[in-house]
A = this chain, B = another copy of it.
Amino acid sequence: MNLELALRMTEAAVKQAYREGARISVAIVDDGGNLVSFQRMDGAEISGPVLARGKAYTSVALRRPTSELPALAAADGELAGLAGAGFVCFGGGLPLWSGYGETERVVGGIGVSGGTIAQDVACAEAGASAWSGR
């Protein structure tokens, strides 16, 4: 992960937010889960700094899209009770993979918050495609 790429991903996510009519926060973290960049659009909720960062961190920490977590973290799920301690267990966070086969690893994550879950996911995916097309 580097700052230039993080900003390009953020730009793509924000562009998608305009298309969706949503006001979002976008967080990008590195492979250590530490924040690289954050932007909160004008008028976006103040929960963004907590939730967008939390989704980005969670997607790196668990190496999964956070949209997979509601089922896993449910009362009868494999990761019951996961929520809390910085893990955000609903859609809008995506891990960013690099390499192939044995060298494949998560090198960062993107988290989006502020719209509906569907909007957040769409914006995170738009951001992540800037990553895939890097």
Q: Which of B41, B89, B116 contacts A80 (CB 8 A)?
A: B89
Q: A37-B40, A46-B60, A47-B61 are in contact. Are A81 and B85 (CB under 8 A)?
A: no
Q: How far is the CB of A47 from chain B (nearest CB, A)?
A: 4
When distances are taken between beta carbons in the complex, the residues of chain B under 8 Å from A63 are: 45
User: Which residues from 34 to 76 on chain A have a C-beta closer than 8 Å to any C-beta of chain B?
Assistant: 34-43, 45-50, 54, 60-63, 69-70, 73-76
- Number of copies of this kind of chain in the complex: 4
Q: How far is the CB of A70 from chain B (nearest CB, A)?
A: 4
A81 vs B49: C-alpha distance when bound (angstroms)? 17
Q: Which of B3, B60, B79, B84 contacts A40 (CB 8 A)?
A: B3
Q: A3-B42, A35-B38 are in contact. Are A70 and B81 (CB under 8 A)?
A: yes
